[in-house]
Amino acid sequence: MKMTVLDTETNIERMAGTPVLSSADALIRVDGVRHAFGAVEAIQKISLDIRPGEMVSFIGPSGCGKSTLLNIIGGLLNPTEGTAYVDGQAIEKPLPKKMAYIFQESVLFPWSTVLENVKVAMEFQGAPRSEWNRRAEDALKLVGLTDFADSYPRQLSGGMKQRVALARALCLETDIILMDEPFAALDEQTRLVFGEELSRLLARTKKSIILVTHSLAEAVLLSDRIFVFSARPGMIKATLEVQEQHPRDPSFLTSEKFNKLRNELYDLLREEVLKAMEQQSGMRGAKA
């Protein structure tokens, strides 16, 4: 069952089934990965490739396993079946020299200053001590927080905290950044402004990004490709391509192309979200 719809106006490619690029130059390759938590099937066999410098999103209803797949790629979780690879190397544990992680909640250490928080990431990563200062300063400069190096996390707003988390990831100088709903705790306006900043920044640093998100707008704004997950057990229901140069201009947010893509995404997701809601109310019913 392979269906491809090509929208000539907006270059939306829509596929069903499991898309596998046959490119030999895949930076990240997910090969037949399946995962179950006990009896609960989290993700069905998923295979996908991510090219160097590409920015992709995993989007789907709650509990669809998109974070599970990200954790498998990040080496925080070993899959029940199948293997994920980075640069052809099987991922069995976190590889901080290759991949940096940004989590949903701020995981800045409240007992350390912003600068110390950035440096400790390099200490854990095993970066040479002589580079800590320069790399920390560069990263803080990139996110515009040089003046807050000596502040403590509690003195920062939610948006600033996530910018520190971004600096923490950037200072590792990895080619890949994995983001697990990094904007979830931010209000919508902050999210969009942060999203634009991120798009500019990433266009400059040329990193490969995997972004797990709930937000349709975020996915369209930031991604080159969007993997749409089905309700649990998760599989890739469709892939959307967003052919738009980075950095994405604020005017892209209000363009017809943006709206069209977002609506497309919504159509794909609606059914799955309803299914996920049914699953959850079913679980509640079974428990009662």
Partner 1 sequence: MSTIAASPGPMLAGSSGEEPARDNSRRIQLAFLIGFLLVWWLVTALALINPFFLPSPQAVARVFFRLVTTGEILPDLKITTGQIAVSFPIALLSGLAVGYAVSSSRYSVEVFEPMLAGLFAIPLIIFYPLNVLILGIGPESKIAHGAIYGFFPIVLSAIQGFGSVDRAYLRSAHSLGASRFQVLRRVLLPAALPSIMAGVRMGFVLTFVATIGSETIASLGGLGHRIVWYAESLETDKMFAYIVFIIIIAVVSNAVLSWIERRSDWR
At 127, list the tokens.
């970066």
Residue closer to partner 1 (CB basis): 99 or 269: 99
- Confirm if 195 and 163 have CB atoms less than 8 A apart: no
At its nearest, how many Å lie between partner 1 and the CB of residue 168? 8
| The Cα angle at residue 22 between residues 4 and 260, in degrees rounded to 5 | 35
Closest approach, Cβ 100 to partner 1, in A, equals 8
Task: For the CB of residue 157, give the shortest distance to partner 1 in the complex, in Å.
Answer: 5
Does residue number 125 form part of the binding site for partner 1 (CB under 8 A)?
A: yes
Whichever of 36 and 185 has its CB closer to partner 1, that residue is 185
Q: Which residues in the 38-97 window bind partner 1 by CB under 8 A? A: 74-76, 94-97
* β-bridge pairing 28-37 and 40-50: antiparallel
- The SS3 assignment for 258 reads helix
Nearest-CA neighbor of 166 among 175, 153, 177, 150? 177
Cis ω on the peptide bond leading into residue 247 (within 30° of 0)?
A: yes
Interface residues for partner 1 in 171-200 (CB under 8 A)?
A: 172, 185, 187, 190
The DSSP 8-state label assigned to residue 103 in this structure reads -
Length of the chain: 288
For 245, which DSSP code? P
* Inter-residue contact 202 to 40 (CB < 8 Å): no
The distance of closest approach from Cβ of residue 200 to partner 1 in the complex, given in angstroms and rounded to an integer, is 22
The residue with tokens 């990240």 is: 28
Residue 111 interacts with partner 1 (CB under 8 A)?
A: yes
Counting residues that bind partner 1 (by CB under 8 A) gives 35
161 binds partner 1 (CB under 8 A): yes
- At closest approach, how far in Å is the CB of 59 from partner 1? 22
Longest dimension (CA), the chain: 59
Taking the C-alpha atoms of residue 111 and residue 251, their distance in angstroms, rounded to an integer, is: 40
- 227 near partner 1 (CB under 8 A): no
Least distance (Å) from partner 1 to the CB of residue 272? 27
For partner 1, which residue of 6, 40, 124, 274 counts as binding (CB under 8 A)? Answer: 124
Contact call for residue 103 and partner 1 (CB under 8 A): yes
Among 52, 53, 82, 158, binds partner 1 (CB under 8 A): 158
Coil, helix or strand for 64?
coil
- Our finding on whether 152 is near partner 1 (CB under 8 A) is yes
CA 145, CA 126: separation in Å to the nearest integer? 24
Q: Within 126-145, which residues bind partner 1 (CB under 8 A)?
A: 126
Q: Which residues bind partner 1 (CB under 8 A)?
A: 74-76, 94-97, 101, 103, 105-107, 109-112, 120-121, 123-126, 152, 154-161, 172, 185, 187, 190
